Amino acid sequence: MPPETRARLLDVQVPPGPVGQVVVLHGGASRGDGVPVSPTQLSVVRMVPIARRVARAGRGRLAVVRLLNSVRGWDGDHTPVDDARWALDRLAERFGTALPTCLVGHSLGGRAALLAATRPEVRSAVALAPWVYETDGRLDLDGRRVLVVHGTDDRIADPARSRAVARGLARTAQVGYVSVAGGSHSMLRHHGSFDRYAAQFAAATLLDHTAAGPVGEVLSGRAWVEA
């Protein structure tokens, strides 16, 4: 069975006639070649409250789905980016059109959100504690809005690398970087902040909602915010 057929989409909220859509992407390190994703693994479960928070912020106007990748980690032959593109294709078939999209991802899912944001339907992307390489900043994301949220105490994904990527992406995209003091890679500490920022940004960029706090500052044009 080819890997792409093993990816799964899980509905969080799908109202009739959505005007936009949010795809939530999980992280999770590899556990060996071809190890499938479990719905109960911690990296997947962590995205459940984020997806629900996004759905509430959408006020019944956004379709919100969670993507379960084909395999754990970042396989060189079939990556989470391939799964994200597969998800966007399936959603376009389901709704009959490619809806304006926000991609929200954590860790490797944050990197996938950025790399898949080149798709024309993607209006915005949120990278939470993203595992990235500095070369990812060379992407051309012209016309997109990007939010990177990273904890200062992350010992798994280096905040310095995500800052470098944010600076690089700012050449073409509107980028805001929120630094969460004391936040770790799991986003369990200060979890309310990570969840809230993702939901506010998705609703603001897809529905023109206003936002307060750090996301409001980012939307008003401030590039670097400490929270």
List the one residue out of 193, 209, 201, 129 whose CA is nearest residue 161.
Answer: 129
- State yes or no: pLDDT of 16 exceeds 70: yes
Domain positions in the chain are 3-226
Task: Give the global pTM.
Answer: 0.95
d(CA 181, CA 25): 24
Task: Copy the structure tokens of residue 211.
Answer: 């936002």
Using DSSP bridges, classify how beta strands 8-13 and 62-68 pair: parallel, antiparallel or unpaired.
Answer: antiparallel
pLDDT the model gives residue 178: 98
Q: What is the mean pLDDT of residues 51-69?
A: 98
For 156-197, write each residue's pLDDT tens digit: 999 999 999 999 999 999 999 999 999 999 999 999 999 999
d(CA 193, CA 191): 5
Mean pLDDT of the chain: 95
Q: What is the maximum alpha-carbon separation in the chain?
A: 47
pLDDT the model gives residue 32: 67
- State yes or no: pLDDT of 5 exceeds 90: no
pLDDT the model gives residue 100: 98
- State yes or no: pLDDT of 77 exceeds 90: no
Using DSSP bridges, classify how beta strands 224-226 and 145-151 pair: parallel, antiparallel or unpaired.
Answer: unpaired
Q: What is the mean pLDDT of residues 201-210?
A: 96
pLDDT the model gives residue 36: 87
Per DSSP, the three-state class of 141 is coil
Contacts of 93 (CB under 8 A, 6+ apart): none
For 91-146, write each residue's pLDDT tens digit: 999 999 999 999 999 999 999 999 999 999 999 999 999 999 999 999 999 999 99
**What percent of the chain has a predicted confidence (pLDDT) above 70?**
97
pLDDT the model gives residue 35: 86
- State yes or no: pLDDT of 151 exceeds 70: yes
pLDDT the model gives residue 2: 40
Q: What is the mean pLDDT of residues 5-32?
A: 91
Contacts of 169 (CB under 8 A, 6+ apart): 114, 136, 137, 139, 141, 146, 175
CATH topology of domain 3-226: Rossmann fold (3.40.50)
- State yes or no: pLDDT of 3 exceeds 70: no
Q: Which pLDDT band, with edges at 50, 70 and 90, does 59 fall under?
A: very high
**What percent of the chain has a predicted confidence (pLDDT) above 90?**
89
